[in-house]
Each structure stands twice: as C-alpha cells, then as structure tokens.
C-alpha cells in the first residue's frame, strides 16, 4: 500500500510540474510594453519595455524624474510579477480599446495607458485604456494598470514611486 501511495504522489507531483503557470503565460510572452499618455496636469508620461530575458528600457517624456532613454535590469521574478499583474487585462483578440464609443460616460483630460504584449512567435496583443472611460465600472482595470509599474525597479525613474 505504501508503494502505491508513493507512486500516486510521484505522479501527482510530476503532473503538476508540467502544468502551465496559473497566469496563462506558459513562457509565451517575449516582452511587454507599457506606455502612459498625457493628461491635463502633471501626469508622468513614459514608455517602458521589459523582456523575459531580463532587459528593461524606460523612456521618460514628461513629468518624470528621468528624461530620455534609460536601461534597467529585470529579474525573472520581476518580469513574472509584472506579467501576472497585467495578464487578466490581456485581450483575447489582437486589440481591445476602452475609449471613445466604447464608453458610456467619459471624463475628459484623464491619462491613458497602452500595453502591448509581444509573444515569442512575434504576435502582438494590445490594450488601450483611457482612464476617463466609465470610471466607476472600469475602476478595477485602472487600479491594476496603475499598480503594475511598481513591480519593476523604475520608481526613481518615474519619480514619487518606490
């Protein structure tokens, strides 16, 4: 009976080791780009791109502590955390937009965020989110997007984040 129980445990552990991660990435994402758009005010405007192989690039445009292009390292854990944070927002189609006609109510002068996932096969999926689009209904999306950059070592580049 002990041998049977041990065999069952080995099979279960082995099966778990081959399952894709729960976030659905399964090693398919090569890079993620995250870009903020301007607002009426002093919203930071920047673009960052991180890759699964540990490279990060930040380009500060307006209201950021660092202007221009800056390289930064990304650990596997940081990339995975960033990817997991954004994974629920990744569209199943090539592009998903939360702006314009897709909004019932729109607040003006708000920033936007665009995320582009590039898979290892070169295919891309894009999310464009205008933060003034149905603000109450889309609050979970906005909060998830706003929390993502804090998972990367770029707080001093953006300014005001740690």
pLDDT given for residue 9 in this prediction? 35
Whole-prediction pTM value?
Answer: 0.83
Annotate 26-92 with three-state secondary structure: CCCEEEEEEEECCCCCCCCEEEEEEECCCEEEEEEEECCCCCEEEEEECCHHHHHHHHHHHHHHCCC
What single-letter DSSP state applies at residue 89? G
With a cut of 90, say whether residue 78 has pLDDT above it: yes
pLDDT confidence band for 71 (50 / 70 / 90): very high
pLDDT value at position 7?
A: 39
**Residue position matching structure tokens 């005001």:** 160
Which is nearest to 161 in space by CA: 26, 65, 52?
A: 65
Question: What is the model's pLDDT at position 61?
Answer: 97
Q: Does residue 140 register a pLDDT over 60?
A: yes
66: pLDDT strictly greater than 50: yes
Residue spans of the domains in the chain: they are 27-158
3-state helix, strand, coil in the chain (%, to 5): 30, 30, 40
Q: Confirm if 118 and 45 have CB atoms less than 8 A apart.
A: no
pLDDT tens across 92-102, in order?
A: 999 999 999 99
Cβ atoms of residues 43 and 36 within 8 Å: yes
Between strands 124-130 and 45-51, the pairing is unpaired
Sign of CA dihedral 82, 25, 138, 132: positive
pLDDT tens column, 3-41: 433 333 333 333 333 233 334 554 799 999 999 999 999
pLDDT above 70 as % of the chain: 82
CATH code for the structural domain at 27-158:
3.30.1560
């Amino acid at each position: 009976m002990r041998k049977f129980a041990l065999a069952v445990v080995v099979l279960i552990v082995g099966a778990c080791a081959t399952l894709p991660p729960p976030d659905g990435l399964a090693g398919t994402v090569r890079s993620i780009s995250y870009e903020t758009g301007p607002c009426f005010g002093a919203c930071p405007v920047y673009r960052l791109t991180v890759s699964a192989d540990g490279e990060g690039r930040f380009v500060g445009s307006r209201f950021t502590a660092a202007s221009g292009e800056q390289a930064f390292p990304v650990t596997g854990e940081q990339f995975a955390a960033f990817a997991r944070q954004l994974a629920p927002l990744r569209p199943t189609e090539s592009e998903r937009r939360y702006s314009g006609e897709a909004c019932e109510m729109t607040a003006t002068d708000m920033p936007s965020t665009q995320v582009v996932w590039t898979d290892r096969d070169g295919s891309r999926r894009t999310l464009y989110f205008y933060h003034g689009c149905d603000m109450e209904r889309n609050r979970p999306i906005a909060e998830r997007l706003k929390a993502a950059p804090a998972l990367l070592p770029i707080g001093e580049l953006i300014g005001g984040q740690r």
